[in-house]
Each structure stands twice: as structure tokens, then as C-alpha cells.
Amino acid sequence: MRVELLWWEGCPSYPDALEELKRTLAAAGIDTPVDLVEVETDEQARAERFPGSPTIRIDGEDIVAPEGAEPFSLTCRVYRLRDGRVSPTPDPEDLREAIRRAR
């Protein structure tokens, strides 16, 4: 399993997302390192098809399908929690589900 976390320094949510990701992987008994990919320019954002920070991919697949048709750019990503609230990080249950799918 390949796990990537793409992040941009202009958005402060990446440490929370990384912590949650590591905790969830450990809880699932998966000893896989997280590849951290810093996205630093709009050009890189387009090349990586980066919808915003943080973005978590497992085996190349985004754990949550990106919303809308915003251009790929250096931005903070908007997630929806399962109770409908807006959040800068994914719902932990979405993360757990994505890990289960990838096993």
C-alpha cells in the first residue's frame, strides 16, 4: 500500500491530517510510511492534480473525491464531515473506509 499526503504550507491543517492518518494506519495494523509531498507552486499543483491541502492518496487514489471544478492550485481544501459540517481535514470515517478499501 502506498500512502501519500500532499500538502501546502499556506494551509495549517496538514499536521492535524498527518496525525490522524498515522493514528488510523496504526489502528488498522498497517506499518506503511507516509510519503509527504510538499506542493510549492501552481505549476506543481496542476502537474500533481492537487485540489488543495491536505490531500491524502492511497495507491494513487484520493480518499475523498474532490468537490467542484476549481482549478488545481495552492489552496486549502474544503472537506464535508459526515454530519454536514465544513472541515479543513477529512472525516476520520472516510479515512478508515479508504484504508479498508485499499487492503
Kindly write out the interface string for residues 19-48 of this chain, putting x where it contacts other proteins by CB under 8 A and - elsewhere: -----------------------x------
One residue of 21, 57, 72, 75 binding other proteins per CB under 8 A: 75
Out of 2, 12, 15, 49, the only residue in the binding site for other proteins (CB under 8 A) is: 12
50 forms part of the interface with other proteins (CB under 8 A): no
Part in contact with other proteins (CB under 8 A); list of ranges 7-15, 19-27, 31-39, 56-64: 7-15
Q: Is 56 in the site for other proteins (CB under 8 A)?
A: no
- In order, the DSSP letters of 77-90 are PPEE-TTS-EESS-
| Length of the chain counted residue by residue | 103
**Alpha-carbon gap, residue 69 to 5, rounded angstroms:** 21
Cβ-based neighbours of 83, under 8 Å, separated by 6 or more? none
* Three-class secondary structure of residue 63 per DSSP: coil
85 binds other proteins (CB under 8 A): yes
- The smaller minimum CB distance to other proteins, of residues 13 and 58, is found at 13
Report the candidate in 100, 46, 98 with the shortest Cα–Cα distance to residue 74: 46
